[in-house]
Amino acid sequence: MAQDVFTRFGFEPIRTPVMEEADLFRRSVGESTDIVQKEMYEFEDRGHTRIALRPEGTAGVVRAFIENHLAHESAVRKFYYYGPMFRAERPQAGRMRQFHQIGLESLGSDSVRADTEIMQALAAFLNAAGIRGAEFQINCLGDPDDRKRYAGELRSYLERRIGDICETCRIRMDANVMRVLDCKNPSCRDVVRDAPKILESVKDAYRAELEVVLGVLAESGIKGRYNPTVVRGLDYYTRIVFEVTHPDLGSQDALAAGGRYDLLVKQLGGRATPAVGCALGMERLVMAMKAAGDPASGPRIVVVALGESAQQPGYRLLSQIRAEGFDSDMDFENRSLKAQLRRAEKCGARWCLILGDNEIQKQTVIIKDMTEGGGQNEIPAGDVLGHLRKVLQ
């Protein structure tokens, strides 16, 4: 599914190593970020090089882009990837130490259309996965000058409210003041509500990009809004940033996130190349799909064999259905009809093929439509494949 959607948008697959030099992440994600300070799995290899299990995918893609000379003179390069990432966080629902991301990276375009293209590709993927209710929260962080100016303003504001902010945020005020903006502590949230907004500090041209993004999202029927507290926990971002939240995810509600990182390629030793990307958390995607009652994960056809003598013919039927290319399954434990139908219903089966002593004697199979109010009928065993072809193709 991901391959179909992302190929349609012109993205090519890329695979980068699970381990990289730890220094790559220090230089890209940022020395003072939580990821580098507290969450990287780091060790020394036999050659005494500091290695890290990758906490995210962007840094590795940029390194590969530079080292393998993947830049095309005039063309934008667009990549997608899928793989495990590692962060030593406190595990909870939606937050794992090993999780999986699908990521998109578009390198070489300065246009805000590259940002909207990334968002549209992500939205198309979510749509194909049956996710409804996701919301794009957009902010604009400007360039490093804008951010420096803003950090000063924010710090002076927070100093005036120092008594109302949490211990962690007091520490953040020195190292990474903008992270105070996405603190979940209720009292910090109150303080942040009246804080100066970064959008007021960024250059007019960048502010105009936010309008373009919101306009394109509205035109494409994608739910999105400006959210001044989206600041991202990685240092490489510039200009437009975003998070995609989903109401069914609880406290870890970011399904995906991304933004522009115009300075990173140069910072890691390549030629200055504007870039934008995003990554989606697969485990959170599955949580949202489950909450939406997604039945798509199970087989469409379940063979229900009743009694010992039906096991072998049932298994033969299962093999024939699979050989036809239909996804199908069967319970080998010879459980009751009720138990097997309940299991089929739970995994979202569309059809059940039931056979017991009676049907074997008559050489028939009962086809049960599992949709609500769907009936059942008995057909000759030899007609089953033809019938499935007709209803499923």
CA distance 227 to 136: 9
Options 99-107, 210-218, 324-332, 378-386: segment touching ligand HAM (CB under 6 A): 99-107
The residue (of 30 and 228) whose beta carbon lies closer to ligand HAM is: 30
The residue (of 78 and 300) whose beta carbon lies closer to ligand HAM is: 78
Among 96, 112, 210, 317, binds ligand HAM (CB under 6 A): 96
CA distance 52 to 267: 19
The residue (of 96 and 140) whose beta carbon lies closer to ligand HAM is: 96
Instruction: Report in angstroms how near the CB of residue 162 gets to ligand HAM at its nearest.
Output: 28
Among 21, 64, 70, 95, binds ligand HAM (CB under 6 A): 95
Task: Let me know if 326 is exposed, middle or buried by CB neighbors in 10 A (0-12, 13-18, 19+).
Answer: middle
Concatenate the DSSP letters of all residues of 235-257 into one string: TT-EEEEEEEE-GGGTTS-EEEE
Number of residues lying near ligand HAM (CB under 6 A): 25
Backbone dihedral angles phi then psi of residue 85, each to the nearest 5 degrees: -130, 160
CA distance 295 to 157: 50
Tell me the angle at which helices 204-219 and 112-128 cross, rounded to the nearest 10 degrees: 30
Among 21, 89, 110, 248, binds ligand HAM (CB under 6 A): 89
Options 15-23, 94-102, 157-165, 323-331: segment touching ligand HAM (CB under 6 A): 94-102
DSSP 177: G
Give, in order, the Cα–Cα distances in Å from 315 to each of 111, 257, 309, 339: 57, 45, 11, 18
b/e map of 75-112 (b: 16 or more CB within 10 Å)? ebbbbbbbbebbbebeeeebebeebbbbbbbbbbbeeb
Residue (of 23, 26, 25, 34) closest to 178 by Cα position: 34
Residue (of 200, 279, 285, 270) closest to 237 by Cα position: 279
Among 36, 279, 317, 318, binds ligand HAM (CB under 6 A): 279
b/e map of 291-306 (b: 16 or more CB within 10 Å)? eeeebeebbbbbbbbb
The residue (of 63 and 284) whose beta carbon lies closer to ligand HAM is: 284
The residue (of 80 and 150) whose beta carbon lies closer to ligand HAM is: 80
Among 30, 60, 103, 314, binds ligand HAM (CB under 6 A): 103
Among 28, 33, 58, 139, binds ligand HAM (CB under 6 A): 58
Please give the residues from 146 up to 185 whose contact with ligand HAM meets the rule CB under 6 A.
none
- Find the residue with minimal CB distance to ligand HAM: 281
Instruction: Report in angstroms how near the CB of residue 65 gets to ligand HAM at its nearest.
Output: 12
Among 30, 284, 317, 353, binds ligand HAM (CB under 6 A): 284
Among 16, 27, 77, 105, binds ligand HAM (CB under 6 A): 105
299 counts as binding ligand HAM under rule CB under 6 A: no
| Contact call for residues 44 and 112 (beta carbons, < 8 A) | no
Residue (of 300, 295, 9, 293) closest to 132 by Cα position: 293
Instruction: Report in angstroms how near the CB of residue 351 gets to ligand HAM at its nearest.
Output: 35
Please give the residues from 219 up to 258 whose contact with ligand HAM meets the rule CB under 6 A.
254-258
Residue (of 203, 185, 201) closest to 193 by Cα position: 185
108 counts as binding ligand HAM under rule CB under 6 A: no
The residue (of 60 and 299) whose beta carbon lies closer to ligand HAM is: 60
The residue (of 287 and 304) whose beta carbon lies closer to ligand HAM is: 287
What tokens were used for 349?
């089966």
Backbone dihedral angles phi then psi of residue 56, each to the nearest 5 degrees: -160, 170
Options 63-71, 108-116, 126-134, 281-289: segment touching ligand HAM (CB under 6 A): 281-289
By CB under 6 A, name the binding residues for ligand HAM. 56-58, 87, 89, 94-96, 99, 101, 103, 105, 254-259, 261, 277-279, 281, 283-284
